[in-house]
Structures are given as C-alpha cells and as structure tokens.
Amino acid sequence: MFRSFFPQPKLFFLSALIWTAIVVAFWYLLGDDIGRWLGFNLPDGETEPVIGVGFFVTPQFLWFYCYYLFVSAVFALFWFTYSPHRWQWWSVVGSQLILFTTYFSVQVMVAINEWRRPFFDAVQNALSKEGSVTSDLLYGLIIDFASIAFVAIIVLVMTNFFVKHYVFRWRTAMNNYYVSRWEEVRTIEGASQRIQEDTMRFASIVEDLGVKIIESVMTLFAFLPVLFALSKYVTEFPLIGQIPAPLFNAALAWSIFGTLVVAIAGAKLPGLYFKNQRVEAAYRKELVYGEDHADRAQPPTLRELFDNVRKNYFRLYFHYCYFDIFRYSYLQADNIFVYVILIPTIAAGAITFGLLQQILTAFGQVSSSFQYLVNSWATIVELQSIHKRLAGFEATFEGRKMPELA
C-alpha cells in the first residue's frame, strides 16, 4: 500500500515527523532572528493585523514561504539521494505541496477571522447610531473579504486538481505493484475488486484523512493563540464561574467528551464493515463464476450468500442507528455550546458584536480541530476495512497470516 508509492515508508514517515519537529522548533525559537538577519522587515511584538489580501504578503509570510521552500528542498534532496524511488516526485514533493496548500487554507480562515471584527463592529455601530459609519467603509470591508475569497478559490481549485492527480498516481503505483504479483494473489477472495477498486479508495481516503489531521494541527497552531487572547474578554461561565483560559479549556473539555462518546458508540463498526465487504465479495464472486460455468450460481447457493449479505447489512444498520443518535446529538449540541458558555459575558455587555464573531469563529475552529475523530469516524471505519483487505495481498507476498475478520 505504502511501499509502492513512498520510499521506505516506515523510515520515510518517521523522518518526516522528526524533520517537521526540528524545523517547527527552529522556526519558533530562531525564525524571526534569522529572518531579520536575511533582510526581512519583521516587526517586534504584536502589530495590528492586515485586513484583506495583503495579509498573505506581509514580511512574516514572505519569510515563511522562503523558509518552507528551503526546508522542503533539503528533505526532498535527502530522500532523492538516499533512496531513489520511481514515484519520488509525487510522493515526496507532491506531499510537501499538499502540506503547504493545507497551511495556506488555514491562514485563509485566520485572515477571514481578522476581517470579522472590524466588519461586524462597523455593522453594530451603523445600526446603533445613524451616520456613525460611512458606506465607503462597509464597501471597502466587503471588497477586502472578496479579495481573500478570490485568492482562496484559486488556491482551492488548483489544489483539488493536483490532489486528484496525486491520488491517481498513488493508485497507479499500487495497481502496478499488485498486478506484477497477480499469480500469487489471484485465488484470494475478491482479488479483482481489491486491485480495481480498493486501491483507489485507499489512496483517496488516506490522502483525505491525512490532510484533515494536518489541517487540524495547523488550525490549532493558528487559532489557539487567538483563543487565548480572546479569553480575557470572557468574564465567567454558567455554574462554574471564572476559570483560567476559559475558552481554551471549554473547547478542550467539550471536544474530549464528544470524542469519547463517538468512540464508544462506534466501537463495533470497523469489524462489521469489514465483514460486510467479505460477504459482498463472496456473493459477487459466485455471480461471476455463474457467467462462465452453468453449474455455479445456483439459486440455493445465491439465496444463502445473499442471506449473509442481508443479515450483515441489518446488523450494520442497527449499530449505525445508535451511533448516529449519539453523534448527531453531540453535533447539534455543539452548535449552541459556545453561546451557552458566553451567556454571562453577552448579558454583561462585555464584548462587541465584532468581538463575538471572532470568538465564535476561533472557538469553532479549535473545537473542530479537537473533534477530528468525531467528524472522521465513519471514514476511519471504512479505511480500516479497506486496509485489512489490501493487507491480505501483502501478507501473501511476505508469507504472513491473512488479517482476521474482526
């Protein structure tokens, strides 16, 4: 699954994690000093945020673009030299490009959040006092938002186009790898489907989940400082009163609660999903045999195989029923949770409308990042099932035991 596309996968991903930790630590410890030494006009301390598309071309961003290009080139050059691989440009450099566009999409959310405060404060002032805000100011802020959205759309479209090609290259690598060993795996149940369908689904889901978890981590890095800064405006929580870093602690506690609820409720789904693919494959295989052999796919056999399909689907529906009850109940409660904890602050008139919008966005982003498992559980279940099926091929190659059903 991975070795067909990535050079020495275990070592590659381990080195990627170590290198990422090193360059991130270096950036936060010495990044500003080195940037100034190289001539970038980096400010000392906090400055007023830039509103609009100029947010992405400040000296801080320009220096980061150069830094990211350099550390990515060093990592890629090492792997190109240490372990050359047919797909290295896609697996190494392509992954770095996806990582950068993920970072950029997070910064788009930060830029929009910075825009919310002046815009909604202006709206509040305009509604509360006639003539206090000019139309030019509001039009200007709308144009600022449009400029951010325009850049975001261009990057999003180009990224989606590239990711489609990235996923198909990964599928091609897996397809070539398995087809070259067809004689070893042709007798495995559902072999044709595993090569034709599961390779594409595996590559697509891994890429999607990988991007989401990276985006969640980057979102935390981007919005946690914002959330900490905004916590000073929150006076107290209902029933609890005052606590340190109230918004951060509330987001963390609420997300952990949701993750535990969903994980416990969905514990049986991976095994059922895997078994579902097994019984479907057995039914489909018998039908395929029946096309070429008159003595196969007889009604009693098909009836028995389809009964297995039906029973497993009904079990899956039952378990998904109570799983969805817990998951959707939590997600609906999540929509109003932040308003509930902000009621004392809102009632005291301690924040403006624009500040409220900033808090809602920052809290939502941090909470959503912590809720990665909640939002991705169904996809993770599907991935576990596909991984087990493809692992059967690799177990055959290496003489290992096939993965168990449960």
Output DSSP code: residue 245.
Answer: S
- Residue 237 phi/psi, 5° resolution? -105, 155
3-class state of residue 234 by DSSP: coil
* Number of neighbouring beta carbons within 10 Å of residue 75: 19
* Number of neighbouring beta carbons within 10 Å of residue 256: 12
pTM, to two decimals: 0.72
Cα-Cα-Cα-Cα dihedral of 210, 211, 213, 214, to 10°? 110
Of 351, 364, 354, 374, the C-alpha closest to 251 is 364
- Separation of alpha carbons 252 and 254, rounded Å: 6
The pLDDT of residue 93 is 92
Q: Which tokens sit at 377?
A: 């559980």
Non-local (6+) Cβ contacts of 105 within 8 A are 152, 155, 156, 159, 215
The pLDDT of residue 406 is 43
Output DSSP code: residue 52.
Answer: S
Of 274, 284, 277, 275, the C-alpha closest to 305 is 284
Of 76, 253, 90, 277, the C-alpha closest to 172 is 90
By the 10 Å C-beta count (0-12 exposed, 13-18 middle, 19+ buried), 47 is classed as exposed
**Residues lower than pLDDT 70 in the chain:** 1, 45-46, 184-196, 235, 239, 392-394, 396-406
The pLDDT of residue 80 is 93
- Per-state percent for the chain, helix, strand, coil, to nearest 5: 80, 0, 20
Q: What is the pLDDT of residues 349-388, one digit of tens each?
A: 878 888 888 888 888 888 777 777 777 777 777 777 777 7
- Separation of alpha carbons 160 and 165, rounded Å: 9
The pLDDT of residue 76 is 94
The pLDDT of residue 18 is 94
List the alpha helices (DSSP H) in 180-268. Answer: 182-185, 191-193, 199-230, 246-265
The pLDDT of residue 192 is 67
The pLDDT of residue 405 is 43
* Number of neighbouring beta carbons within 10 Å of residue 198: 22
Q: What is the DSSP string of 333-381?
A: HHHHHHHHHHHHHHHTT-S-HHHHHHHHHHHHHHHHHHTHHHHHHHHHH
Specify whether the CB–CB gap between 345 and 233 falls below 8 A.
yes
Paired strand residues for 241? 237
3-class state of residue 237 by DSSP: strand
3-class state of residue 68 by DSSP: helix
For Cα atoms 226, 227, 231, give the angle at the middle one, nearest 5 degrees.
120
* Number of neighbouring beta carbons within 10 Å of residue 30: 11
State the angle between helix axes of 95-128 and 59-82 in degrees (0 to 180), rounded to the nearest 10.
160
Q: What is the DSSP string of 116-156?
A: HHHHHHHHHHHHHSTTSS-HHHHHHHHHHHHHHHHHHHHHH
The separation between CA 43 and the C-alpha centre of its own chain, rounded to angstroms, equals 32
The pLDDT of residue 69 is 94
Q: What is the pLDDT of residues 384-405, one digit of tens each?
A: 777 777 776 667 666 666 555 4
Length of the chain as a residue count: 406
Distances (CA, A) of 210 to 98, 102, 117: 10, 10, 32
Which residue in the block uniquely carries the two structure tokens 């949770």? Answer: 337
